[in-house]
Structure 1
Amino acid sequence: MTVRILLVDDQPLVRAALSMVVKDAPDLEIVGEAGDGDEAVRLASELTPSVIVMDIRMPGMDGIEATRRITSGPSAAHVLVLTTFDDDEYVYGALRAGASGFLVKDMGLEEILAAIRVVAAGDALLAPRVTRRLIADLTSRPTPGSSAPPRTLAAITEREQEVLTLIASGLSNTEIADHLHLSVTTVKTYVTRLLSKLDARDRVHLVILAYEAGLVTAAR
């Protein structure tokens, strides 16, 4: 299945470089390009892309606000943020807005293409250290008002809650498998079930839900 890509960047040269590389990938296709957030929101609705490669700093509506509008709407597209600025404020802003990954432009083009495929498959492109940074930021904020877990967690089993807690602690699937003495395939099955039961877009959303449910704290 071909991954439909919408490129959003205010620099035509950046879009041209990515387009040239994508043309050589039989499983990827550029379906549109946008130079600002407003155009990105419009094209996300019109072109139904699978993945939106989104810059952050653009004239007019920036990439974080565009991501928020796209992910909160009917679009099923996953947003992969690609920016020059590897700054915590941008990382957290993008992820909280609903982005499924965060990359910087000094990465190799092949690495960026691999990231597009990962995000298109419904996975979040976050190294464990980035997940831990996100949790550290979330847990530095006031604890959510109610100490009772959200009603959505009632649908998951005790084992699924264990897996969710470990995901939110920054462990990879392999690390979770080792910790719980399971196969990696079994862990992947649990992750898939959690995404479905909690109506989560991706692994990042699972981390945020786990924090909101009180499964992880600053002391963890």
Structure 2
Amino acid sequence: MLAHLIADFILQPYELVQLKRRRVGLAIHAGIHALVTAVLAAAILPRWWMIIPVVTVVHYWVDAMKVGHGPERGPWSLVAFLFDQAVHMAILAGAVLLSGLRLDGEVFYRSVTLTAILRYAVPYIAVAFAGAILLYQIALAFETRLNPAELLLTRLRVAGMAERMLTLTVVLFAVPWWWWLGAVSSVVQLGVNHRQPRRWVETVSGLTFSAVLGLLFR
């Protein structure tokens, strides 16, 4: 999952997204995915030398199937995005089972510290980078603002990352009666945007996404 998050949301800039309309772009993205997966999973995944190439080919095929298809705006664009992520999660689950590991099993690297860092990297990368794309898709789906692409601008993107990571950190590490601190920024935003109720969808979605991941990894 960590490899998927890194390859899909950190190492996939806008230019590569556009290049994926051609086979060379799909191949580059699939290659990045394979390399990141090998680096992170080879030490813990039995038969990785066989499984990673299979996952790479399937990943390429899934991405090729969606190129040029699906709505770009409206609720169905969000559905398509979520469905695509669900398909990739199913592929990863299949790879784990194919390797002989259990989905509910725990894996450990040689270093306890490294294991903990990689474990917590999953929710932090998810809320910071995948969360930014999720909110962009929500803005497209529900028309929360005239120009949803402004959510991807550096200023708003970094601010959103900081807000979601704060919520995640509070839920992950603080005792429950301090969890309200993770919602302070969101409550302020709700007040600022009280005349733009559609913006509330963005705020509540970001808060919920971060809080749920915090509970799952707590």
| TM-score in terms of structure 1 length | 0.26
Larger Rg over CA atoms:
2
| TM-score in terms of structure 2 length | 0.26
Higher relative contact order (CA 8 A, sep 6+): 2
Whose strand proportion is higher, 1 or 2?
Answer: 1
